[in-house]
Chain A
Amino acid sequence: MSAPLLELRDVAKGFPVRDALGRRRGAVRAVDGVSLIVPKGSVLAIVGESGCGKSTLGRLALRLIEADQGQILFEGEDLRGLSARALRARRRDMQLIFQDPFASLDPRMTVEQAVAEPLRLHGIVPRAQEAQRVAELLSRVGLRPELARRWPHEFSGGQRQRIAIARALASEPKLIIGDEPVSALDVSVQAQVVNLLQDLIRELGLTFVLISHDLGVVRHIADRVAVMYLGRIVEEGPTAQVFGAPRHPYTRALLAAVPGQGHAHAPLLEGDIPSPINPPSGCRFRTRCPYAQPLCAEQVPPMEGTSHLAACHFQQNLPPALVGQDAETGGERLRRLQAYFTDQTQKQGELA
């Protein structure tokens, strides 16, 4: 594994919750002690349900919002220690692609102005070569350079997202974070944009962090996957292993929710995510976990493993996850296996 480009160490962020009179009534702990390593040239996906804090994590990593604690190391340098001016200069190396291409482009800037802006801000090419560079960038993302003088409102969602990608590439960044870059697009367009991203990652040697809830896209382009639940990472590992042999019950549930992915022994998710204002003690997934034990309420499970890590007290004891089997009959077998599992762990508890 090559040197990390981006490393998060115990990063946390809470948003104050105020009542009608503006008094502080606790905080939503959107991101709560996340540590991650993104090696240079790799693609890391962060997956999870909406509201789990994955978008917040992406913005914390770029210091678009300020973290409450932890370190954000970009090439070994803590972004949180930079002055406003130094941070602005550093932004050249890290870019964000937004979810909604209808909202992320300034409506009063032509395509050319939008794509040229990072060139100008960071003095990347002389003014005289600006137009030519913009044309190159546009053709790089599959748009005809003649469209440069048109306005964002004249384009479709897929085209706008291509413009946003061209803008993100303009400053020749080392890291790009894509916050659900295709989920606002038509399904027919999604695949094209995903393929474009994949080509760019491969050809430009980009380091990419993909924030997504679309496991199909993740499996397609990610080297590693981090699964987030209620502000914490619960499982992280190489994509093939996380998808093939998920260790955390939540990961299994997520995979089971994908049609046609039929994981046996996967708990089916019931109910909503608990309120992040007052999250469950111990393991945060325990309120929805079919394997939950008294220990889960008492201790926060640590991330365990070497390359493939999971935060579950019982990850060694869970029934093996079988991929691609009996999606239909899973329900009945699941119940029996769960009963068996509970039985076993209770016996173990009595022996101990």
Chain B
Amino acid sequence: MSATAAPAVLARGESPTRRAIRRFLRHRLALAGFLVVLTFVLVAILAPWIAPYDPIETSWSRIRRPPSELYWFGTDENGRDVLSRVIWGARASLMAGVVSVVGAVLIGVPLGLLAGLAGGWVDALISRVADAMLSIPFLILAIALAAFLGPALENAMLAIAITASPIFVRLSRGMALDAKSTDWVEAARSLGNPPWRTAFVHVLPNIIPPLLVQSTLSIAEAIIAEASLSFLGLGQQPPAPSWGSMLNSAQRFLETAPWLAIAPGAAIFVVVLAFNLMGDGLRDALDPRADRK
């Protein structure tokens, strides 16, 4: 904490964000996770250009072909190229993962901040609803909501967003409670900040690190949820490709054509693992305890 520790010549200091990025880049597994995620994102975006075949076009002449030079991951029971379907399926999975978590954050964080900073009956009401939702297993609640909303990818995303939001309520409420007792939040008030400004300009930026970590881990969970809903026919509707629905149709041919299950299964596994590694790395990089040298 000595004054001389900071080189006085630099006019601009290192921001907490830059410092976290620097730490993250040193974390090898996390970086690997990040690169895998980045690859899948690029694949999803570039699907129309990199998929070797049309993912929907059926052909009676190439049903359940094993992997070959022409069809790297084989073909399915309707003669569609599995690789092309996995590539297009990345769109549904990643979009469902990201969109539903963004939705969960948009629902959960403002409610959590409100509960933590306002306190009283507002806090009691919001917290009890969140607790009640958390008491129901994640997938069961998502399935129930998706079934209620009707089978469509958009509805599945909405169902996952709602199901994933209570964890963000709880997290941001706890962090807001913590921040509320600090001097800098009291200072914000004493300077004349209105409550909403204290919440969004002072408290929110300070609780972003744990929210970011939780979001990354929640995306992994949301991808699994989307795959599960699609597996049950509640998500992406056929013939549009989705990893979950591919697994569903593959189960009938597990013994005769295992490649139908391996490719989408591996894709889910790798993406979820990558998101989790990235989340762990972010947690380490953003750990405030690492600030104390």
Contacts and interface: CB of A to CB of B under 8 A. Distances in A.
Genuine A/B complex:
yes
Interface of A: 62, 64, 88-89, 91-92, 95-96, 98-100, 103-110, 117-118, 121-122, 144, 146-147, 149-151, 153-159, 164, 167, 171
Contact of B190 (A89, A96, A109, A144): A96
Contacts of A92: 192
Contacts of A147: 8, 11
Contact of A107 (B12, B191, B206): B206
A92 B193 CA distance: 11
Interface of B: 1-3, 5-6, 8, 10-16, 182-184, 186-194, 202, 205-206, 291
Contacts, number: 87
A82 to B, nearest CB: 12
6 contacts: A88-B194, A100-B183, A106-B206, A109-B202, A154-B6, A164-B187
B180 to A, nearest CB: 13
B268 to A, nearest CB: 36
A173 to B, nearest CB: 10
B278 to A, nearest CB: 22
B14 to A, nearest CB: 7
Given A91-B192, A122-B192, 10 more contacts: A98-B183, A107-B184, A118-B192, A150-B11, A153-B16, A154-B6, A155-B6, A156-B3, A171-B191, A171-B192
A149 B183 contact: no
Q: 10 smallest A-B Cβ distances: which pairs?
A: A150-B13, A91-B192, A103-B183, A156-B3, A104-B183, A154-B6, A108-B205, A149-B12, A106-B184, A88-B192
Contacts of A150: 6, 10-13
B203 to A, nearest CB: 9
A96 B187 contact: yes
Given A89-B192, A106-B202, A117-B191, A154 B13 contact: yes
Given A151-B13, A154-B13, A64 B3 contact: no
Contacts of A144: 8
Nearest to B185: A106
Given A103-B183, A159-B3, A64 B15 contact: no
Contacts of A95: 190-191
A151 B15 contact: yes
A151 B183 contact: no
A157 B1 contact: yes
Contacts of A164: 187
Contacts of B192: 88-89, 91-92, 118, 121-122, 171
A199 to B, nearest CB: 20
Which of B13, B15, B188, B192 has the most CB atoms of chain A within a 10 A radius of its CB? B192
Contacts of A157: 1
Contact of B16 (A88, A107, A167): A107
A21 B6 CA distance: 50
A158 B15 CA distance: 21
A98 B2 contact: no
Contacts of B190: 62, 64, 91, 95-96
A104 B205 CA distance: 16
A104 B16 contact: no
Contacts of B2: 156
Nearest to A63: B190
Contacts of B183: 98-100, 103-104
Nearest to B206: A108
Contact of B11 (A88, A89, A118, A149): A149
A105 B3 contact: no
A61 B36 CA distance: 57
A106 B191 contact: no
Contacts of B3: 155-156, 158-159
Nearest to A65: B186
Contacts of B193: 88, 117, 121
A107 B207 CA distance: 11
